[in-house]
Each structure stands twice: as structure tokens, then as C-alpha cells.
Amino acid sequence: MTSLVDRFLRWPVTAVLWKDVVLETRTKDTLVSVFVFALLSIVVFNFALNPTPQNVALVAPGILWVAFTFGGVLGLTRSFAVEKERGGMQSLLLTPAGRDSIYLGKVLSIFVFMLAVEVVTFPIFAVIYNLPLAAPEFIPVALLATLGIAAVGTLFSAMAVNTRAREVMLPLLFLPIAVPVIVAAVEASGPAITGEPWGDAIQWLPILAVFDVVFLVICSLGFGFVVQD
Amino acid sequence: MKNDVNAYVQPGTGRDLTSDGRAPEGSAPQGPAIPAIEVRGVTKSYGRVRVLDGLDLTLQWGQVLSVLGPNGSGKTTLLKILATLTRPDAGSVRVAGMDADRAAGHVRRATGVVMHDPMLYADLTGRENLRFFCRMFGLDQPEERIAESVRRVGMTSRLDQRVGTLSHGMQKRISIARALLHRPRVLLMDEPESGLDQGAIELMREVVTATKAGGGAVLLVTHNFDQALGLGDRLAILGRGKVAHEESLTGAGGSTTSPEELRALYFKHSGEPR
């Protein structure tokens, strides 16, 4: 069993994921900040918009993805800040692992952290907005949209970390490119979280999948240029 | 960066790439005609500032090359280019016979790099850091590698303590241990003595001497004149982006220049006030 785990972790992608997970269990920087931001957004929007049973299906998906996306930006900023400190990124780049493997490892760790926050936040959101607690249709939407956000965000986080105002630069670079993923996620989430039939909204799932593949391919190719000194 | 295994040249060595296309671990073609490091006409600019300007440099196997130079003379940039962390604007760089651009992955397997910063994760323990880098290098028997590396730098205790809680000197020892994990044949060291106590400096000297004795090569970037003269077989003084002065310190063609004259040459080429 141990040797199986060792073999699994000798793949650079999983080695980077393991390292980030261990670091996060020690510091909890990313999980706490993303969760607190997402929760605050959900609560504030609830008071600001005061959704009724008639309009909740219209406003809730947007609120949910604003909370997850902007919370994710905080996590993305932290993801490469930890590499920048003490030259960690340089030490990664000195290994023979391909730049694409390092990129995919970072995407995977952001994906896992964001999903963890979404799993905890969604039931609270459902209770506050009086929506069904069990929403299995939301699972593929959350998986695909979170992967898309992580794919784009990881590249721009690596880019922004070398700038002086990285907290400002990351949303400026990331959000315009991530808009298609966020729009598709909002459109697909409507029926998924309210328990209504999918209808036309199901067409957004393959669109999300296509965005994910395109972003993963383009960003993994671009990552090597971004991290080159 | 794309790794082109065809760029791995092994004239006359009879060694083949492994079945998965990798060069044998830490391997290096060591024919007399193939230097450990060969830099030809390398230029590198950051914006309008030209840091390296047609630099030429050669380091043979079994030698230590001490590189001296004032701040901003391009020492660290040279080391980053050799370590494949940055690409030159022009010129060619071969490390262990391999093109540093086209076979960067193989070059990284053949080189161990110690930079000024420890380059470790502060919230992981020393052992977790080393285990992580074993995985990133795809090394077999990681625990044996870690034990061997930390023994060489005298860091067998406190290895299970978080790196952030250790002194800079202790962190530097783990950093040197990390550079030795994959048993590299070429060591690139940027001010390795900074932050080390006298005992650790002795251990670092032993690492350099052992690498050289084992047929490897060491490029030592330092500000410490005594260190450069004491460890180096050859000395290169960088100035204005080039090797301004170079001479052998040992052997038949050894230096006839006294340390004082070498110091004077350093100040002449560096433009630093004495």
C-alpha cells in the first residue's frame, strides 16, 4: 500500500498536489480565507437583494458563483505567493519535471481547495436561500466550472505573483478571461440548485467541458513562458 | 521548456539514454574534448541593462572554477543560465555536454544548484522538503538518498523540525543536501558560504572537494576571496558582462600571480574602490 502511494506521489503532478495539501493543512491560509469570503458574500447578498421564492431561482446562481469566483481569487493569489516566498518556485523549476506537470499540479491543488470550500459552503447557501439541500445535478456543474476557474487562474496567478501589485493584477488579468466559464456556470446552476428540470440549461455542461479542455491545453503551454525568468 | 533528447550528445562515451529517453542519472559525458561547462558568446539583457555581454567560459571535469565579481557583474545571471532558470539572448551554453536550452531537463538531472536563498518550504520539515524533491526528480529509494545527503552536510538531527523554525545556517545545510539528492556531477553554487557557521563551511568545502575528486565539476560563485583561492583550481573575474581575467590556480600551469596581485586585478576589473 505504502509503495503504491509512493509510486503515485512520484508523478510530479501528484507530488506538487501532496506538497500543497500538506502545506495547507499546516497553515490553512487558503481554505480559511476563501471560505470566509464566500460565506460573507452569500450573507451580504441575502440582505441586499432579499430574495423571494419567486425570484430566488434568478438571483441565487449568480450570487453563488460570485462568492466562489472571488473567493477563489484569494486562494489563487496565495497559491503562488507560497512559491514565491524563499525561492520555492525556483526550486521547483530546478527539477527535471516538465513545466506542464508543475502547472497541472498547481491546478489540481487549487481545484481541490476550491471544491473543499464549495462542499462546506453550499449547504449553508441552500439553507439561507431556502433551496434544496441535496442537489446532485449541481455536482457536474461545480466540478467543471471549478476546474475552468483553476485552469485559467493558475496561469494568471503565476503571472501576477511577479508583479508589485499582485492582489490587484490577478483579478484584472483573470476575470475577463474567466467570464465564459462563470457565465456558463451561472446558466447551468439555475435548474441544478433549484431542483427544476434541466431544459435548455443542460447545453451549458458540454460548453463548460470544452472551455476546460481549451484552457487547460493553452494555459499549460503558456505556463513555461510565464515562469521563465 | 521542451526537452530534446537528441540534444544529449555523448561522443565516445558508449553510454546510451535509458529506455524512457532519459539520460542516465547524473551522467555526464567526460571525454577530454567535452568540458563540464562550455559557455560561448552569451549575452543577456534585462530591459536596457546588458548584464552579460559575449561571455565565454569553460570548466573541465575534475575542476573547481571560482567566479568572482562585484555586485551586478552578472555572476548570478550566469549561474541561472547554467541552471536553465533563464535563457540567454544569444550564445550557446552546454552543461555536461548537453545543450542547456534544448535538453534542459537532462541538464537539470546532471546539475545540483545551491542558490543564495535556501529555496525550501518553511512550513514543511526538512525531511518533507527533501522527500518532495526526491519525488520531483523521480528518485528511487528516497529515504536512503535523504540519509546520504544529510550526512554529507552534517544535518542528521532536527530534520523533522519545520524549516521555518531553523536558523538560516541550518536551512542552508538542508538546501545543500537537496542539491546533492540526485548525485549530480556538476555543482553550481552561489555564495554557498553565506549564513553558514565555520563547521558548516568546512562541510561545504568537503562537498566541493569530494565532487571534484569524484570527477565532477564545481562552479563556485562567491564574494569571498579566500574561499575562491582556497577551493578553486581556476579563477575567473567577471567585469562588464565578460570574463575580465581568468587564470589557473593549481597544477603545472598554476598561477604565478600572488593573492595580493589577484586582489589588485579584481579591484581593477570590478571598478570597486579598494
> What separation in angstroms does the CA of A73 have from each of A35, A65, A114, B74, B85?
12, 12, 10, 37, 27
pLDDT tens across A53-106, in order? 888 888 999 999 999 999 999 999 888 888 887 778 899 999 999 999 999 999
Distance CA B243, CA A213 (A): 48
Name the interface residues of B facing A (CB cutoff 8 Å). Answer: 1, 3, 80, 83-87, 105-106, 108-109, 113, 115, 117-124, 128, 132-133, 135-138, 142, 162, 178
Range of the domain at A7: 2-227
pLDDT on residue B26:
47
Q: Which amino acid is at A27?
A: T
* Sheet bearing B64-68, strands edge to edge: B111-114, B186-190, B217-221, B64-68, B234-239, B242-248
C-alpha cell at A141: 456543474
pLDDT-based confidence at B32, cuts 50/70/90?
Answer: low
Among the residues of chain A, which ranges form H helices? 2-9, 12-27, 29-49, 56-84, 88-93, 99-128, 138-160, 166-194, 204-227
| Look-up of cell digits 538560516 | B168
Number of domains in chain A: 1
Please judge whether A19 and B132 are an interchain contact, meaning their C-beta atoms are less than 8 angstroms apart: yes
Q: Which of chain B's residues have a Cβ under 8 Å away from the Cβ of A91? A: 119-120, 133, 178
Distance CA B82, CA B184 (A): 14
pLDDT-based confidence at A198, cuts 50/70/90?
Answer: confident
Please judge whether A228 and B87 are an interchain contact, meaning their C-beta atoms are less than 8 angstroms apart: yes
Half-sphere exposure of A9 (CA within 13 A, CB side): 21
A222: closest chain B residue by CA: B1
User: How many angstroms away from the CA of B257 is the closest CA of chain A?
Assistant: 37
Report which of B93, B76, B73 is spatially closest to residue B237, judged by C-alpha positions: B73
pLDDT on residue B157:
84
Among the residues of chain B, which ranges form H helices? 75-82, 104-110, 126-136, 142-152, 168-180, 198-213, 225-231, 259-270
Distance CA A68, CA A121 (A): 9
pLDDT on residue B90:
95
Distance CA B184, CA A27 (A): 33
CB atoms < 10 A from the CB of A178, how many?
A: 24
**ipTM of the modeled complex:** 0.89
Can you tell me the mean pLDDT for B66-94? 92
Can you tell me the mean pLDDT for B101-109? 94
Can you tell me the mean pLDDT for B204-229? 91
Task: Check whether A120 has a pLDDT greater than 90.
Answer: yes
